[in-house]
Amino acid sequence: MTPQILMLCVLGAFLELDTTYAFQFLLSRGIIAGPLLSLVTGDLMTGVQVGVFTELVFIDSNPLGGVLPPSAVGCCTVALALHAMGVPVYFAFFVGVLGGAFFSFMERSMRLGRCGWLVYQEQKIARKPAQLNRTVWVSLAQSLLFSLVGFVFICSLGGWTMVHLLPHIPERMHLVSSIAYMAVPWTGLATLISIFNLKRGGSKG
């Protein structure tokens, strides 16, 4: 893994904190995360494109209640990392979508595993309220480290797989994937229109 890809994963891990753990300045939205992450790779136009496409794909997925949607930051991080490795963006994006979904699965497992630890910390804070700030910082550090390890793992695995598969992918598959990639924004817009129609219908009722 090159220093550039590692820095991309580090920045992605910080942006991932914005989902539910801290900040919540919408930095974790694909349309913002994509351009920010592209500052590391130096390819702003691809970052904007990947960010917009990610936003449209995940437009109806929000971390509300117990719902843990695919990670938009994870999608952008993996897609831009693979593109920086030489993988065409029309392949890198779809691997990024799978990477974002897989990262959410990993995070769901991590949250379940931390339940006991959180209960213990809650009891400790009840006894010693002064421990609150320390516990919050430790929890944020754990989440940051988990995101970093997760992104490094997914980018390494996805990058190694695609770099080795790329020479064997037939030209027809390139054409099909590029057409599917260009259809992503239209699919996202169609979903957005249906959401507006549902809301409008609900307001009339």
Contact, 33 vs 51, CB < 8 A?
A: yes
> Is the predicted pLDDT of residue 64 greater than 90, yes or no?
no
State percent of the chain over pLDDT 90. Answer: 50
Residue 198 is predicted with a pLDDT of: 54
pTM of the model: 0.85
The count of other CB atoms within 10 Å of the CB of residue 116 is 9
Contact, 47 vs 7, CB < 8 A?
A: no
Residue 134 is predicted with a pLDDT of: 78
Residue 195 confidence class, pLDDT cut points 50, 70, 90: low
DSSP class of residue 153 equals H
Nearest C-alpha neighbor of 20 from the set 75, 55, 71, 60:
71
